[in-house]
């Protein structure tokens, strides 16, 4: 990925995050925009988000964010100067929950090994 793509992705991530927390305060208080991936022609982008707390709400929050995607695009056109502002879609990123589950399992295995008597 080129340096320009990285900078554009980071800019989009920051601006989308600010918009979500400013405009959707009560509904999206637990949302974290974890990353944004644009296509090479900058015509579309996927904004990955994670949830603090209940990850079971991911599909409902994804639907809510995607219902506001047009507003996000309008705001991006207003605040960012790019030839093409990508069309944003939101996708739930469950990697944080999976990582937490793996770490918890590793901690359980470690505690079981410490409690097991040595032969």
Q: Which CATH number covers residue 90?
A: 3.30.300.20
Let me know if residue 40 belongs to a domain. Answer: yes
Reported as a pLDDT band with limits 50, 70 and 90, residue 14 is: very high
| Residue bearing the bigger pLDDT, 115 or 48 | 48
Range of the domain at 47: 3-94
- Pairing of β 44-51 and β 31-38: antiparallel
Whether the predicted pLDDT of 38 surpasses 80: yes
H helix intervals, the chain: 3-23, 58-67, 69-79, 95-115
Let me know if residue 105 belongs to a domain. Answer: no
* pLDDT value of position 58: 81
What domain count does the chain have? Answer: 1
Considering the entire predicted model, what is its pTM? 0.76
- Rounded CA-CA distance 65/72 in Å is 9
């Amino acid at each position: 990925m080129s340096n320009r793509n990285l900078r554009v992705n980071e800019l989009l991530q920051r601006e989308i995050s600010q918009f979500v927390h400013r405009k959707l305060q009560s509904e999206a208080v637990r949302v974290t925009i974890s990353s944004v991936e644009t296509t090479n022609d900058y015509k579309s982008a996927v904004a990955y988000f994670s949830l603090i707390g209940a990850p079971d709400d991911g599909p409902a929050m994804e639907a809510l964010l995607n219902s506001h995607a047009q507003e996000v695009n309008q705001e991006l056109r207003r605040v960012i100067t790019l030839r093409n502002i990508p069309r944003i879609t939101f996708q739930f990123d469950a990697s944080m929950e999976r990582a937490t589950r793996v770490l918890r399992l590793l901690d359980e295995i470690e505690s079981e090994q410490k409690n097991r008597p040595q032969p």
